[in-house]
Amino acid sequence: MVVKHVNYGLALFLGAIVLGILFGIDLNGILSTLLMTASDQITYELVLAVSLIPIFAQAMIESKLIDEIIDGLKAMLSQRAVLAIIPSVFGLFPMMGGALISAPLIDGEAEKLKVDSEKRSLINLWFRHMWFFVSPLVTTLIVVCRITNMNIYDIIVIDIPAFIVYVVLGYFLLIKPIKSYDVKKGEDNFFYKFVKGIVPVALTIVSNILGLHLIFSLLLGISSAILLGKIKPSNVMNVVKKGFRWPLVASVLGALYFRNIIRYMHVDSFIVENAISFGFPTIAFFSLIPLIFGFITAEPQTSAIMSASLVTGAFEKFIPAQVALLYMSSFLAYFTSPLHLCLILTVSFFKSKIREVFKWLVPSSLLIYFVQFAVCYILIEYF
């Protein structure tokens, strides 16, 4: 159903019921797990988090603070560097189909630099997704860490080597070869613009690192964006309405219900025990399975939650490196999937040849995955 573009939440909800029936669940079990999902503290926390992040993004857009960040960076950096900065700024706030927001802004700059359509698509995709490695605002990472009871910053630290390779690879292969040209720098207050724009993001991340609960950190970020952007009180509700994304909330609810059905019927233990008895290595549950789920669903949150649900009930304990591998497997499989919405929208906008885009995207992503796998494998086996 996910492949057929049925809403992720509905697909997971119905899939959970079908799975439960296959394992002999009765009506009481279906209703019990539904009540368990609705009353679980994890549900409240995750629904609030995935609701507030797109509202935060909308507040940054409505307040023009994202424009302030980009304008400030344009004045400080070379023209070719701006091509990478534009999608990376918008990528700070993950949203479905968000690549279509940054694509028009890249197009104008890329035209001046005579960048071909395939490279425009790659720049938009590559730099937009760079924050999946290290941002505590990525909903998939938040959800996976909450389900597995891992500290989000432990996972981020493990992701840093792959993140560095990712950024360096993107810069040297996509940005550096572009011939830049001298441009007149912007206004004298460019640094003020940049700082003003970045304050809500910095407040959110720093306050969370210092121990403030993510929900309150996000509310702090939203409030500061509203104040700095001078959004009128009468328009605040409009920002909330525009920013709220019910499909994201539905996908979290569906995924958590799926997780609880798996636990209630002991599906996780059944699958893992039988797989291991046939010689299936433990590390495959943190790599191969999320890779398959991510590629098929082309939705990192769904694939990561399904994979995390499988391992949390089946294994008594696991370490951050295993969760980091699971998370990155889900992300990179989604990133290179032909069903990836950002990929489809980007290629369509720039009228690129998808085969040419894949010629660069797939091997580069495989290299990043090799780095992540190597780091995680060393941590799993030797530490």
User: DSSP states of 303-354 as a string?
Assistant: HHHHHHHHHHHH-S---HHHHHHHHHHHHHHHHT-TT-HHHHHHHHHHT--H
Domain for residue 150, yes or no? yes
Mean pLDDT on 352-363? 94
Domain span at residue 272 reads 8-39+79-179+245-382
Rounded alpha-carbon distances, angstroms, from residue 201 to 53, 197, 213, 301, 382 = 11, 8, 15, 22, 36
User: Kind and range of the H or E element at 159?
Assistant: helix 152-170
Domain for residue 378, yes or no? yes
Do residues 375 and 161 lie in contact, with contact meaning Cβ atoms separated by under 8 Å? yes
Domain for residue 266, yes or no? yes
Q: Residue 16 burial (CB < 10 Å; 0-12/13-18/19+)?
A: buried
Domain for residue 328, yes or no? yes
Mean pLDDT on 262-289? 84
Banded pLDDT at 251 (limits 50, 70, 90): confident
* pLDDT value for 102: 83
Other CB atoms within 10 A of residue 96 CB: 16
* pLDDT value for 366: 98
Banded pLDDT at 213 (limits 50, 70, 90): very high
Domain for residue 49, yes or no? no
Domain for residue 371, yes or no? yes
Q: Mind listing the pLDDT tens digit for each residue in 72-108?
A: 887 888 888 889 998 998 888 766 656 777 888 888 8
Domain for residue 376, yes or no? yes
Domain count, the chain: 1
Domain for residue 57, yes or no? no
